[in-house]
Chains A and B, each alone.
Chain A
Amino acid sequence: MTTIAPEESALEAVFDATVAADERIEPRDWMPDAYRSTLIRQIAQHAHSEIIGMQPEANWITRAPSLRRKAILMAKVQDEAGHGLYLYSSAETLGTSRDELLDKLHTGRQKYSSIFNYPTLTWADVGAIGWLVDGAAITNQVPLCRCSYGPYARAMVRICKEESFHQRQGYELLLALSRGTEAQHAMAQDAVDRWWWPSLMMFGPPDDESAHSAQSMAWKIKRHSNDELRQRFVDICVPQAEALGLTLPDPDLSWNEERGHYDFGPIDWTEFWEVLKGNGPCNAQRITRRRRAHEDGAWVREAAAAHAAKHGKADR
């Protein structure tokens, strides 16, 4: 579509005014190309994180130690698939397609959250993911319910409700372990030791090194800086860890009366960038498995399409 400059500037003025008034941009509204592409990148990355994130937890479905825990874990992994569906649909309102986004994931042109490149080594990791990883995700995502783009904001309302349930089940799972046998307590502590720092990295690089932050805040896609959200998460977790009877693996963690926040030790950003570059413990495994599921399923999707074409109706 070609537009002459005066019209474009008028449209842009409407867009700016809508954002400034804290109203929602909807799919049919004019929006700057960069706003559209930023949203597609962010929503796709979020959707990919949901479906890649199924892997480390699905790793324990077949070994869950009680039928109650098995039911909870299956439901949680199912929710993640559902979140993937809403998010891909939300991205489609911006003029892309699920197939195109999956192809970008499979070919490494779009990313997913690096946290899922860490392995789930014991049952307690399921609890640590719920408490810390989902907890960090909620801290990041609650402000997205007020994101300037309507379909994304509305998807996030439902997702945050379910994430909150996920976070509580993780906490409750760890509490049962922490109060259980000595071996169970040790399993819980070990999981928290391994997941704490990667969880803090989920908020992204420090504000002065974050590539997209400033523009996203101006567009009200993002509402708080990485460091603000990280601090909020630490402040929430410290008393929860105490209630769990578990320790957080940071000797520098202490209450700072003056700031009204917990101080915490330096994050190993080298590890963060290495995992992001593909050198984490499970990067290759996660993407290989995702690609294989997609390739193995190709004949099923082709059959569904062929059947729908023969019988003259949309398959789904």
Chain B
Amino acid sequence: MTNLTRTPALALGDDALILSHRLGEWAGHAPVLEEEVALANIALDLLGQARILLSLAGDEDELAYLREERQFCNVQLVEQPNGDFAHTIARQLYFSLYQQLLFDHLATGGSELAPLAAKAVKETAYHRDHAEQWTLRLGDGTDESHTRMQRGLDALWRFTGELFEPVDALDAPWQTLRDEWTTRLTTVLERATLTVPQGPQHGAWTAGAGRQGLHTEPFGRMLAEMQHLHRSHPGATW
């Protein structure tokens, strides 16, 4: 895995793969049984997208299990640990809103990603709706849920700028997507009696860093867990 080309399929595939993994960590821990089903459903959709996208870039399992941390090009937002349920919902809201807008755009284009985007955009609309509904319930629920939801949104805000950094060889109207994302997010947060976070949407030295293979500390541990069994049996088939 030394001569890796960073293609759009790999970047978007890594986003889906890593967020799916994080959501999979919820299994058995969700606050209510319906959410066990819903979070697993979103994780499965994302894993399905990841498998298609990574297969466009190479062998799905080699790419998932045999790359080092610095070779992954997902945005840092998706690798962030789950935190509490509000933190997970904030991450999902930011991501699904972005993914839906991007896939909507890609679905109408002529790139190799168009068929995947056209199929995935329906799933993504559900993910976004699920995150929005919970944002409304938590934001406009109890004092405690409001505080937790706002805290989740604030904590993850600095990872949102990266979503709209241009991806190499991926033709998309990034500024328009960003404006649309901000407008839609603002509408949801206002309805939920929450505040759009202020402050920078980038970390001090990590602008667009995930796409370039620079990740956050929790990511290495996540990969260690994800990859260890596969790597313990080189060449085995499962």
User: Interface residues, chain A, CB within 8 Å of chain B?
Assistant: 51, 54-55, 58, 61-71, 74-75, 77-78, 81-82, 84-85, 88, 98, 123, 173, 176-177, 180-181, 183-184, 289, 293, 296-304, 306-308, 310-311, 315-316
A67-B51, A71-B47, A307-B141 given as contacts; is B230 within 8 A of A81 (CB)?
Answer: no
Known A51-B33, A67-B50, A180-B236: A61·B27 in contact at CB below 8 Å: yes
Measured CB to CB, the closest approach of chain B to A128, in angstroms, equals 15
Given A77-B40, A78-B44, A70 and B24 contact (CB-CB distance below 8 Å): yes
Considering residues A58, A63, A70, A303, which has the most beta carbons from chain B within 10 angstroms of its beta carbon?
A: A303
Interface check B218, CB cutoff 8 A: no
B145 at interface, CB cutoff 8 A: yes
Is A84 a contact partner of B27 (Cβ separation < 8 A)? no
Q: How many A-B residue pairs have CB under 8 A?
A: 144
Is A82 a contact partner of B37 (Cβ separation < 8 A)?
yes
> Bound state CA distance, A110 and B164, in angstroms?
52
Chain B interface (Cβ < 8 Å from any Cβ of A): 17, 21, 24-25, 27-37, 40-41, 43-44, 47-48, 50-51, 54, 60-61, 64-65, 84-85, 136-138, 140-142, 144-145, 148, 225-226, 228-230, 233, 235-238
Smallest Cβ distance from B101 to chain A, in angstroms? 26
Which residue of A67, A71, A74, A183 has the most chain B CB atoms within 10 A of its CB atom? A67
Contact of B47 among A67, A82, A85, A180 (CB under 8 A): A67
Q: Given A65-B229, A74-B27, decide whether A303 and B33 contact each other with a Cβ distance below 8 A.
A: no
From A55, A183, A308, A310, B233 is in contact (CB under 8 Å) with: A183
B residues in contact with A58, CB < 8 Å = 27-28
State whether B28 touches A299 (Cβ < 8 A). Answer: no
A98 to B34, CA, bound (A): 12
Which residues of chain B come closer than 8 Å to A69, judged between CB atoms? Answer: 238
Nearest first, the 4 closest Cβ-Cβ pairs linking A and B are: A297-B31, A303-B141, A303-B145, A78-B40
